Structure 1
Amino acid sequence: MYRLYDYQPSGNGYKARLLLSQLSIPFEYVELDILKGETRTPDFLTKNPNGRIPLLELETGHYLAESNAILFYLAQETAFWPETKLAQTQVLSWLFFEQYSHEPNIASPRFWLCHLPKLNTYQETALPYKQEQGYQALAVMDQHLADHQYFVEEQYTIADIALYAYTHVADEGGFDLARFPHIQRWLQDVASQPNHVPITQTHFPG
């Protein structure tokens, strides 16, 4: 059985939880509190020297780090990974967009505003810039979704899962999603997928 090391509020961890649930794959959920340094212990660092979650432990004893790499691994030979080379490349393109343009600017404000008692000087200075860049990423998504139901070939793929994770809680980072009607429609479509689970769920069939 898979074992997922994770932190419940994490959008990156939620990606793995959501795909595992939608594939009906049983897994053991191991909660680690990053605010208490539980991913920086000697034991965890032997599993992932980068000291980050999510981390997926395979039945073989191997460990997979990085949320989108975990999505790629789990999605192979499933409906969440398209068949053609072009569509596969388009999925990868959106995964790279999510990690480079979207997640750093959507997730950081959310973490700072929801999980820290007080912003430091850097965070106070960086917050407006992060939010500006986050709005730019959301605008790119909204423009694409104006003409597409999902991000790649009108098919629900791991591109949607990766982008959904932090977008659907972007309001917690001070973002006004009412400005993006096509994203709002897409969020409803994703939430209506079979075996969808909320980001707050931490108990799963084992």
Structure 2
Amino acid sequence: MSPETVTVHGMSTSGNCHKVRLLLEQLGRPYRWIEVDSANGGTRTPAYLAKNPNGKVPMLERADGGVLVESNAILCWLAEGSPYLPDDAWQRALALSWLFFEQYSHEPYIAVARFIRGWTPLDSPRRADLPRLVERGAQALAVMEKHLQAAAWFTGNDYGVADIALFAYTHCADDGGFDLVAYPCITDWLARVRAQPGFVPMPGVSDDVAARLASS
């Protein structure tokens, strides 16, 4: 039986949303994408909040009306029974530990720095947070670099959900002010991810966002 077509509400230039699209493409699973401009209130409408009171993307809807939110939870549900999620309990727990790391120690700094530099005005008071975010994000990248000195992947012996999750904002970390040249193992890992079958790149940002990134 073919897998059901799922609907994903997402912002294409969001790493958290791109995770979901990348795995769906690599699984070859049918899906419908609904673009949501979360940076400009698209997740705060009454219709959206009725489905996801937390008002964030991505959001996945099943044909039966079931709704799943939180990007890494979506990854795990989609990957169940596939090579992208380990069957072994220990290996799965190790993969999950990297998913938690990504959301607690990585994304809050690397992704937020990227958002502030690209999606806030050049005179935004939030830009005062950038030095702290860069410092903490660099700590996360150092943890990843150390792991990759002895391992090829974060999901275990093979590429999978933890690699997808960490790729999402690491590959565009320079948008947040991080210089990946200082992390050669990460650079090599990013190339391995891009070489995986079914890989799709994140779409480019708009011209105004690109201009702010260049000016930051």
Describe the superposition over 1:126-169 as per-residue Cα deviations: whole angstroms up to 9, x where unpaired. Answer: 11001000000000000100111101332111000000000000
Q: Verify the 8 A CA contact 2:95 2:161 in the aligned structure 1.
A: yes
Note if 1:120 corresponds to 2:124.
yes
Q: TM-score, normalised to structure 1's length?
A: 0.94
In the other structure, the counterpart of 2:211 is none
Amino acid paired to 1:132 = E
Q: Map 1:87-166 onto structure 2 (within 5 A).
A: 87-121=91-125, 123-166=126-169
**Aligned-pair RMSD on alpha carbons?**
1.1
Structure with more contact order per residue of length (Cα contacts < 8 Å, sep ≥ 6)? 1
Describe the superposition over 1:50-95 as per-residue Cα deviations: whole angstroms up to 9, x where unpaired. Answer: 1100000112211100000000100110000111111010011000
Counterpart CA distance in 1 for 2:155 and 2:71 is 19
Counterpart CA distance in 2 for 1:71 and 1:110 is 22
Question: Structure 1 regions of 5+ residues with no counterpart?
Answer: 202-206
Counterpart CA distance in 1 for 2:36 and 2:155 is 33
Counterpart CA distance in 1 for 2:131 and 2:157 is 34
Q: TM-score, normalised to structure 2's length?
A: 0.90
| Compared CA separation, residues 119 and 154, structure 1 to 2 (3 A) | farther
Counterpart CA distance in 1 for 2:122 and 2:38 is 17
SS of residue paired to 1:154: coil
Q: Verify the 8 A CA contact 1:112 1:119 in the aligned structure 2.
A: no
Number of aligned residues: 200
Q: Map 1:21-40 onto structure 2 (within 5 A).
A: 21-40=25-44
Q: Map 1:57-68 onto structure 2 (within 5 A).
A: 57-68=61-72
Note if 1:188 corresponds to 2:191.
yes
Note if 1:9 corresponds to 2:13.
yes
Question: Structure 2 regions of 5+ residues with no counterpart?
Answer: 205-216
| Compared CA separation, residues 181 and 5, structure 1 to 2 (3 A) | same
Candidates 68, 73, 78, aligned match of 1:74: 78
Note if 1:170 corresponds to 2:187.
no
